[in-house]
Structure 1
Amino acid sequence: MTATPPDRPAILVFPPLVPLAVLLLGLLLQWLLPLGLLAQIAPLGRHIVGILAFVGGMALVIVANRFFQSIGTNTRPTLPATALATEGVFAHIRNPMYVGGCIALFGVAVGFALDWVLLLTLASLPLLHYGIVLREETYLETKFGEPYRRYKAAVPRYGWKA
């Protein structure tokens, strides 16, 4: 007797824990071992870039989350996908929540001159890609088949389709 696999992606880590860990560890490292690289940039410019990136990144996250809710699918990847999101922001980018989260973290790092948060954001990208995104794609392809394969071929994973 074989067990039926759970109806959810086999992600390595719950996605919101990645930016939270990056932020907390980055703050700790900034306190213990400040690098001072971003602090060399003029504060006004740093703050403007930080605010714009944070607001833009969070807007992507919020819009994507609301779209998931509007089509009645789960936003948490630990729960089953009940619908395929291919319209709205998802017509332009396949992973707006992850991209938006990274942009928002970039904004926090730049705005507050947190070198370690910026470095750890970059270092977390392979975990995000291999441990979450590719596993979600495998799950969605298994669950939704050809419609998901067509969507995947038409919409970039991280870039923006005009």
Structure 2
Amino acid sequence: MRWGRACFAVLAVAGAAWWCAVPLLPWVREATLGSLDPLPIALLDLPLFVLASALAALGWRPAAYVATGWTALVALAMAGYATVTTEAGWGALAMLAAAGWSALGLCLLLLGRVPTAWIVAGPFGFRPASARDGVLGHVAATLAQLVVFWGLFLVVLPAAVVLVEQRWRLAVAMPAWTVPLGTVVLLLASALGLWSAFAMSTRGGGTPLPAAMPNRLVVAGPYRFVRNPMALAGIVQGAAVGLIGSSWLVLVYALLGSLVWNHAVRPHEEADLERRFGEEFRAYRRAVRCWLPRLRPVPARG
């Protein structure tokens, strides 16, 4: 609850500071509101966002609902306005960030935590793969997964982010060397991802997908050096795509993806591995770090 109140306190201070800057700094008004008249917006936003956030920071829960709902509504409205007019892109981006922050604060205020279990529910729930598929079946399923997930998270979504970045006039010029650097990094990270996927599907009796998890703990290939090589590869791939596309927003997208995976998905995945493999996984977790590779690999098994 304390952290939830802190989130709303940050929103209240940031909102108040922004409304002080709007009439005093023309460039702030133009960047965040475009040609919109700030007066009618202020008449609604000051009580429903700034004041409500301040009251939520003091622990009044109804105000948290008001602030979160209003922030989400304004974020959607500003995103639509920026997309149609190409104005106020920074305002739309700020409100989207505020909406996510207020949703985080609401969860912490009401529940004391972020309910991440839904991420691994339903079709994404952890289930061992069928042994009847065999190694070739697991390899084929893994390759199909890579095509779908890499296509979605490394092509479709980054392309959408770049389009928004350009439409909202948020693009920032990057040096020319970022394109060749990003290309090299993408190739290396993709090779790591393929190596990891091959080790998982040939040695683990399953696939990297949660709905068809390996039946054996895999300590082979890159898993001898680092505990989550596929996640590491995916994050680096996302950052490389940002460099290739000269998009700082895609770099932020990759960073946010890493935070979501590390704090929302990984704890559930590792809890499932500990339930299924017990001390074998705990010993592996003690020996191999999550993100920083070892200089010397642990002995292979699995």
TM-score band, normalised by the shorter chain? 0.7 to 0.9
Q: Does 1:57 align with 2:164?
A: no
Q: Say if 2:206 and 2:212, in contact at 8 Å, map to a contact too.
A: no
Amino acid at match of 1:91: R
Larger radius of gyration: 2
TM-score normalised by structure 2 residue count = 0.46
Q: Say if 1:22 and 1:120, in contact at 8 Å, map to a contact too.
A: no
Deviation of residue 11 (structure 1)? 6.8
Deviation of residue 64 (structure 1)? 0.4
Deviation of residue 75 (structure 1)? 2.0
Q: Say if 2:235 and 2:257, in contact at 8 Å, map to a contact too.
A: no
Q: Does 1:137 align with 2:244?
A: no
Give the distance between the partners of 1:90 and 1:104, measured in 2 at CA: 18
User: CA RMSD, aligned part only?
Assistant: 2.3
**2:168 — aligned with what?**
33
Give the distance between the partners of 1:26 and 1:141, measured in 2 at CA: 37
**2:260 — aligned with what?**
127
- Residue 12 of structure 1: which of 95, 114, 119 is its match? 119
**1:116 — aligned with what?**
249
Gaps of 5+ in 1: 1-9
What is the DSSP-based 3-state SS (H/G/I as helix, E as strand, rest coil) of the residue aligned with 1:160?
A: coil
Q: Say if 1:74 and 1:82, in contact at 8 Å, map to a contact too.
A: no
Q: Say if 2:197 and 2:207, in contact at 8 Å, map to a contact too.
A: no
**1:47 — aligned with what?**
179
**1:88 — aligned with what?**
221
Deviation of residue 25 (structure 1)? 4.3
Give the distance between the partners of 1:133 and 1:81, measured in 2 at CA: 16
CA 1:130/1:22 → structure 2, altered by over 3 Å: closer, same or farther?
A: farther
Amino acid at match of 1:52: V
What is the DSSP-based 3-state SS (H/G/I as helix, E as strand, rest coil) of the residue aligned with 1:83?
A: coil
Deviation of residue 52 (structure 1)? 1.3
- Of stretches 24-33 and 59-68 in structure 1, the one that deviates more from structure 2 is 24-33
Q: Say if 1:22 and 1:121, in contact at 8 Å, map to a contact too.
A: no
Give the distance between the partners of 1:93 and 1:34, measured in 2 at CA: 39
What is the DSSP-based 3-state SS (H/G/I as helix, E as strand, rest coil) of the residue aligned with 2:210?
A: coil
Q: Say if 1:11 and 1:135, in contact at 8 Å, map to a contact too.
A: no
Give the distance between the partners of 1:143 and 1:100, measured in 2 at CA: 25
- Of stretches 14-23 and 56-65 in structure 1, the one that deviates more from structure 2 is 14-23
Deviation of residue 127 (structure 1)? 1.3
Q: Say if 2:217 and 2:277, in contact at 8 Å, map to a contact too.
A: yes
Hey, which of these two has a bigger chunk of helix by percent? 2
The one-character-per-residue Cα deviations of 1:71-98 (angstroms, maximum 9, x if unpaired) are 1222211223301111210010111111
Number of equivalences: 150
What is the DSSP-based 3-state SS (H/G/I as helix, E as strand, rest coil) of the residue aligned with 1:93?
A: coil
**1:100 — aligned with what?**
233
- Of stretches 148-157 and 18-27 in structure 1, the one that deviates more from structure 2 is 18-27
